[in-house]
Each structure stands twice: as structure tokens, then as C-alpha cells.
Structure 1
Amino acid sequence: MKTKQPRPSGAKQNDSEMTGARRMDALGQLLRCSQFKESFTLSVQPSLRLHFLAGLQAATTAVISLALFQLSPWAYLLGFAVLGAPVALFGRFATRRRRTPLVFQCALLQVGAVFVMSVASWLMEPVVARLVILALLSGLFFFISIGARLGMPGPLIFVFAASASMGTPTSWQAIIEQTSATGVVAGLAVLICYLTEIVRVQVDDGIPFQMPLQSLRDRMLAAARVVAGAAAAMLLALALSASHPGWAAVGLVAVMQGSDLRINMNRAVQRTIGTACGALIAWPILAQHPSVWVMISILAFFMFVTEIIIGWNYALGQLSVTPMALIMSQLPTPNAITVAVVPERILDTLLGAAVAIAIAVLCSTLADRMHLANHRYGKKTGP
């Protein structure tokens, strides 16, 4: 009986290379049904307790600070005060010794995002000029987050804060006030994390859900891609008459945080579908024109729930992130709540995700595309 001769290893490698070498091949693989199915698989939570505590710390910060601001003469700064609370989400997987300095560092970045974007908005009247500054900040925060090993939620929080600060301040005093409001709440977040650090479980110094540390050159190239992509996404949103084009940059950064093409696509699908479903939750809430106190309560609830479910699947997290983000955008004008922002949030997210995938594929290296092909065809590429 004639036995089948084994195929030379070189031939197998050549087939694999031909399958995944071209950008069109990579795009085709990303658009397969199996890729979309993979986007909705549930992951194992590394530590539900750490997620629970991070959500509780952020929600507690929001409730205490926003209630105090609402009762104070500075209630008009609620929209900027709320931007300080998400700082508590950082460092959940850091060691006890590293957690507080890391959260403090993120607090400084958050305050810096509000200050720089506020000053730029005051000095630059054209909207396009502000969008350019926001695109540059998106790349800068992306670069810093990777190099400083900040972990999740990464540059997304800083880009969101910058985009929320694009309104034109009326004076230098207004800039100081809104920056201070963010700083005070961010400081409270640092304090709450420090005081409750004792109840955290001890963890190793590894941080899950983080892009691998790259060389300086690679980080600079990745940041440049984010700048170009954010600018393109926001200009597209502006061309479509979107009133919050900065949200497109947020969507793009969320997708480009993925460590490879496969994760990029997963996050694009998860963020788009999750945002659309989350918008259906936000719509009836905003349609009721809730009071400030109701919005604060709902905001804290969603902030807590997000951290419980987002570790299982990013799309699940968007079910609560979307209402939370929309409520945060409405806090500065509680008497003029509108549901018009709901469909715009979906549009901006879709634009950001689409541009992110386009940039990721166009700027991908042969190694990136081969990694995708090897994963798709079941070949192990390394640990």
C-alpha cells in the first residue's frame, strides 16, 4: 500500500504566507462570520473581586463629589466634576505599592486633558483647529498609556475628558474653574482608592488587558496612526453635521487599543453593537428628562455595573458605558436634556470603529497579517 508522502514544511509556510500576506486577505479574514462570532464569546474574569472594588470606588467617588457639587454654589461645574471619578478605575490589577501612585498619575493626566483642551478651545475659534488638537492629544495619551503601563481603561478616559472639554470657555477664570472641578474629584478618587486599598487582594505586578510594551519607535508609529485616524474620523463626523465629533475619536481609540488585528476587529464589532444596544437603554431614560439627582444615581449605578460585566465581554460593558457617557454629556445642561444625542452616539462610534479598522489594516506589517492568518488557520505563532 502506497503511503502519502508528508508535505514539505516550506510549502506549508508558503501557502500560509500567500493566504495572509496581502491587506485584502487580512480584511477578508476580519470580515468572516467566524470573526464576528469570536467577538461575542465570553472571557474568564481574572478577578471579579478586583473589578467589583474598582467599580465601587469609582461609583462612590461620583456620588460623594457630584452630590457636594450640586449642593454648592458651583453646581454648574457638574459636567467637569464627573470627569474626575473614572480615575478610580485604573490600577485594579497593580500591586498595592504601585496602585496609589498609578491612580495619582492618571489623575494628573485627566486634569491635563481638561486643561489643555479647554485652553485650546478658548484660543481657537475654528472647530477644525480644535479637532486637530484633540487628535494630537489622542495620540499623545495613547503613547503615554502604553509606555507607562497604565492598563485598562487606557487612554480612552483621557480622550473622553478632552472631547468633553471642547466647548468654548467664556474666560480664563472659567478654564481654571472647570479644570479645578475635575482635579478636586480626581483627587477624591485617589484618596478613596488609597483608603480602601487594604481590602484589595494581593496581585502580581502583571496587568491584564494591556498592549505589550513596544519599542520607542513602535510606540511613536502607533501614536501617529491614532492621530491620523482620530483626525479622519472626527472630520467625517463633522462633515455629517455631528454636534459631538469628538466622540468619533473616542470610538477610534477604543478599537486601536487592541494588541493585534484580530483584537482590533473584535473591539470594533463589540463597541458598535454594544453602543447601539446601550443607546436603546439610554433613550427612555433621557426621554423622561430626569432630575440631576436621578441622573447622579443612574450614573453611579452604570459606573459600577460596567466594571462588573466588561471583563466578560467588551460589548456587554458598552450596554452600560453608553448610557453613562450620554448622561455625563447631559449633566452640564439638565434643563435641556435631549434624546438627539442618542443616534449621534451610534453614528460617531460607527465612524470611529470603521476608520480604526481601515487604519489598522492599511498600516499593518507583514508580521501583523501573518499573525492574523496563523490564528485563523490554527497555527500557533508563539506564547
Structure 2
Amino acid sequence: MDTPPTSDRPRRRDAAKHILHPHTLRDGMRIAPQPHVRASAMAGVQAALTGAIAMPLIYISPFAHLLSFAALGSIVALYGRFAPAQRRNWLLLYCMLSQTAVVLVTSTAAWLGAPNLVMLIVLALCCGGLMFVQQTVKMGAPGALLMVFAAGASFDTPVRFVEIIERGLTVMLVGLLAWAICFLTEKFRNDPSAFVPGEPALPRKRRIEVALSITLATFLAAAASQLIGASHPSWAAMGAMAAMTGPHLYHALHRGVQRLLGVVIGAAIAGVILIFEPNVWQMMGLIVGLQIITEIIIGSNYALGQMLVTPMALLMTVIGMPGVSGFHMASERIWDTLIGAAIGLVLAILLSSQPDRLELAAYKAAKGNKS
């Protein structure tokens, strides 16, 4: 058993050792009781219902090439699950507008023919900006991370001007459908015991500092991903962002490790699924089913949730890119997450404050006393 640091000024190397400690892995795999399972499950059902309506309609229309964006629009229903009805109504609209905005921004940059470096900067600024928005409006789960996924889906080039409009309208209209479904089915989610205020808002200066650190981390992760020839730098950015997100340093470190474990296993599951070359209808069915199951279990264990989120995300990507090797995409997801999580964990420690490390030391001491 480790003894807590005797110094009242724990060093960054002490924080780094925490990642390698056996209890970090044990904590990452511990299954906790799912808090407010009804609200979480209902959010998954609402997102799944949105997708089950929107995706087939898009697929049989002349706009089948927008299928991935219809799937992305459906995830708006996942927000505000623990908020009272009135707050959730405007929060869903805010999230829909934020997601539409990042899709328009990254698509416009691609249409303008921005060089790779500029595209990476745009992506990183979107990540930092979304984090600032998340902390300002107290967005709650699933946070800005899924919106970064939407930004990454718009990263391809070249893009025609009309496609910018099509993508933005698809995400917005499906997001509005999600809002309507949530409004109409609110009575099934309504559980006053599940309504929690969330973390208190950080001071504006601290929110800006967090946004800047996220911008730096996601830029470095995306750039490193592109340097090794990966075609989805946003996945590396998401790995870095997850590793730096959390109300406390120990939460952020655990989240980074959990995401790494979950994505590796989830990508392997996706690879097995895609080997069988499911058709579009089968992929839509899998996406809808995974949305419900994920929301039921992710509150119990983030790594376990990522094992399901990862194949769902890969299916959302593959469904809009016919002919792409699903197995290659699954293996790339693993490498991108490894790169992003490693960079995020390193920067989380390097940029940590003395109070952050003191809190981590206290957490380690408490864990040591229980073991």
C-alpha cells in the first residue's frame, strides 16, 4: 500500500504515478449503481426514437448521403436528462444550435479549401469553445464531447457549398425532432428525485483557462494523429478532451484511462460487427439499439459505456461512407484514442495546479486507507 505524500506540495510526478497505480485500473472497471436509471434510460429511448424516425426517412429520400448527420442530430435528445422539464426544453435547443454551429463551421472551412493546419486549428478552437459553452450553461452529460464528434464528421474535403446548407439543415431539423419527442414524452422521464443541479459554474477566468487548455491539447492530439497518416484527427482530439474533462484532477485521469480501455474493447467489437458487412438497415437498427443500452449502463461505468459508444460511433461514421473498410476504421479509432488519451493525460498533469494535486493526494490517501 502506498503512503500518502508527506509533502504539502505534491509534485506532478506524484500525479503521474497515480495513473500507473493498480487502484486506478480497479476503479476504472468498478461497476457502481446506476443513479436515476429511469431518466438515463428515457434519454436513450428518446434519442433512439428520434434516430428510428429520422434515419429511414433520410435514407429513402434523395438525401441519403446525409445519413450520418441525421444520426448525429438524434443525439441531441441525450442532453438535459437530469434537468427539470422547463430547463431541459431550452437546454436541448441550445445544444441543437451548438451542434449545428460546429457542423457549419467545419464544413465551411472544408469548402473554403483550408489547408490541413488551418483545419486542425478550427477543430481545436471548436473543442475549446464547446468546453466553454458546456461549463457556462452547465450542459451536463454527455457534454461537449459528442458535439466534437459532429464537428469531426464535417472534416472531409472537398465540400460543395450546397452540402454546407444540407448538413446544417439536417442536424438542425433532426435536433428539432429530438426536442419535440422529448417534449411529448416528458411525462415518462419526469422523476423529481433525478433532477440534480450539477456542478456549480466555474468563475469566468477559470472557464477560459480550461477552454484554452482543451484547445491546446486537442490541437496537439489531432496534429499527432494526422502526422501518422490517420484520416480522423477528431477522434484523437476527443481522446485528449475526455482525459482533461472532469470536476477534479482524479476524475479527469480516471476518465482518460476508462476511455482508453473502453474504446480499445469497443473498437474490437465494432471490427467484428463490420467484418460481417451489415447493410444500411441493419446498421440503423444497431445504432438505435445501442443508444438505449448505452444510456442504461454508462452511468454505472464509463469504460463499459465506451465499449458500446465506440461501435455506435463507428457505425454512424461507416453508414455515411459506403465502401470504407470498417476494420481499418476500427483499428484507426484505437490508435487515435491512444494518442489523444496519452496527450490529454500528460497535459492534464502538466497544467494541473497545486490545489488540484493536493486534492489528488488526498484522494490517493483515502484509497490507501481503504485498501
TM-score by length of 1: 0.91
How far off is 1:267 after superposition?
A: 0.9
1:125 and 1:257 map into 2 onto residues whose CA distance is 29
| 1:49 matches 2:38 | yes
Q: Hey, what does 1:17 align to over in structure 2?
A: 8
CA distance in 2, matches of 1:204, 1:365: 35
CA deviation after TM superposition for structure 1 residue 74, in Å: 1.0
Amino acid across the alignment from 2:31: L
Amino acid at match of 2:351: C
Q: Any gaps of 5 or more consecutive residues in structure 1?
A: 1-11
Structure 2 CA distance for aligned equivalents of residues 212 and 345 of structure 1: 34
Letter in 2 for 1:289: E
Question: What does residue 364 of structure 1 align with?
Answer: 352
| Aligned counterparts of 1:230 and 1:14: Cα–Cα separation in 2 | 31
Structure 2 equivalent of residue 334 of structure 1 = 322
Match of 1:117 in 2: 106
- How far did residue 135 of structure 1 move? 0.2
Question: How many angstroms apart in 1 are the aligned matches of 2:343 and 2:222?
Answer: 10
Deviation of the 1:164 alpha carbon = 0.8
Structure 1 residue 79, shift from structure 2 partner: 1.7
CA displacement at 1:205 relative to structure 2: 8.5
* Deviations 1:22-76 (CA, angstroms, capped at 9, x unpaired): 1112211332112221222222222111111000000111111001111111111
Name structure 2 gaps, 5 residues minimum. none
Equivalent position of 1:375 in the other structure: 363
- How far residue 337 of structure 1 moved from its aligned partner, in angstroms, is 4.3
Report the secondary structure of 1:334's partner residue: coil
Cα deviations across residues 311-366 of structure 1 (Å, max 9, x unaligned)?
Answer: 00000101110100111111112344431011110111111111111111101111
Q: Is the 8 A contact 2:110 2:157 kept in 1?
A: yes
SS class of match (1:339): helix
Task: Give the Å deviation of 1:207.
Answer: 3.8
* Aligned partner (choices 195, 199, 203) of residue 215 of structure 1: 203
Q: Is the 1:211–1:257 contact (alpha carbons within 8 Å) kept by the matching residues of 2? A: no
Deviation, structure 1 residue 13: 11
Q: Are 1:319 and 2:307 matched, yes or no?
A: yes
**Across the two proteins, how many residue pairs are aligned to each other?**
366
- Amino acid of the residue matched to residue 312 of structure 1? S
- For 1:252, the equivalent position in structure 2 comes to 240
Structure 1 residue aligned with 2:295 = 307
User: Aligned residue for 1:39?
Assistant: 28
What's the CA shift string for 1:267-318, capped at 9, x where partnerless?
1111111111111211121112211111100111111111011000000101
Find the structure with the greater CA-based Rg. Answer: 1
Secondary structure of 2:202's counterpart equals: coil
Match of 1:184 in 2: 173
Partner of 2:254: 266
Cα distance in 2 between the residues matched to 1:312 and 1:358: 26
Write the distance in 2 (CA, Å) between the matches of 1:337 and 1:88: 30
Distance across 1 between alignment mates of 2:301 and 2:257:
11
Which residue among 255, 264, 283 is the counterpart of 1:295? 283
2:126 matches 1:147: no
Measure, in 2, the Cα distance between the counterparts of 1:370 and 1:206. Answer: 31
Is the contact between residue 34 and residue 297 of structure 2 (CA under 8 Å) also seen in structure 1? no
> For the Cα contact (< 8 Å) 1:292–1:334, is it kept in 2?
no
The structure-2 alpha-carbon separation of the partners of 1:232 and 1:265, relative to structure 1 and needing over 3 Å to count, comes to same
Pairwise CA RMSD of aligned residues?
Answer: 1.9
Partner of 1:350: 338
- Residue by residue, what CA displacement relative to the aligned partner does 1:225-267 show, whole Å, maximum 9, x if unpaired? 0000001001111111111111111111222221222111211
TM-score, structure 2 as length reference: 0.94
Q: What does residue 286 of structure 1 align with?
A: 274
Q: Is the CA contact 1:95–1:204 (under 8 Å) kept in the aligned structure 2?
A: no
Tell me the residue number matched to 1:59.
48
User: 1:166: which partner in 2?
Assistant: 155
Matched, 1:135 2:124: yes
Amino acid at match of 1:233: A
Aligned counterparts of 1:58 and 1:303: Cα–Cα separation in 2: 7
Question: Following the alignment from structure 1 to structure 2, what is the Cα–Cα distance between the partners of residues 375 and 285?
Answer: 40
- Which letter maps to 1:17? D
Give, in whole Å, the separation in 2 of the partners of 1:14 and 1:340.
Answer: 45
Describe the SS at the equivalent of 1:15. coil
The 8 Å contact of residues 233 and 352 in structure 1, kept in 2 or not, is answered as yes
Instruction: Report the counterpart of residue 232 of structure 1 in structure 2.
Output: 220
Identical aligned residues as a percent: 40
- Give the Cα separation in 1 of the matches to 2:217 and 2:113: 22
1:164-203 deviation line (CA, Å, top 9, x unaligned): 1001253211110111111111111011000001222333
Distance 2:252 2:356 in 1: 12
Partner of 1:5: none
Contact 2:262 2:307 in 1 (8 A): yes
Residue pair 1:118, 1:169 contacting (<8 A) in 2 also: no
CA distance in 2, matches of 1:85, 1:27: 38
1:76 to 2:46 alignment: no
Distance between the aligned counterparts of 1:100 and 1:22, measured in 2?
A: 44
Residues 1:50 and 1:206: Cα distance change in structure 2 (over 3 Å): closer
Structure-2 change in CA distance of 1:216 and 1:362 (3 Å): same
Contact kept? 1:212, 1:259, Cα under 8 Å? no
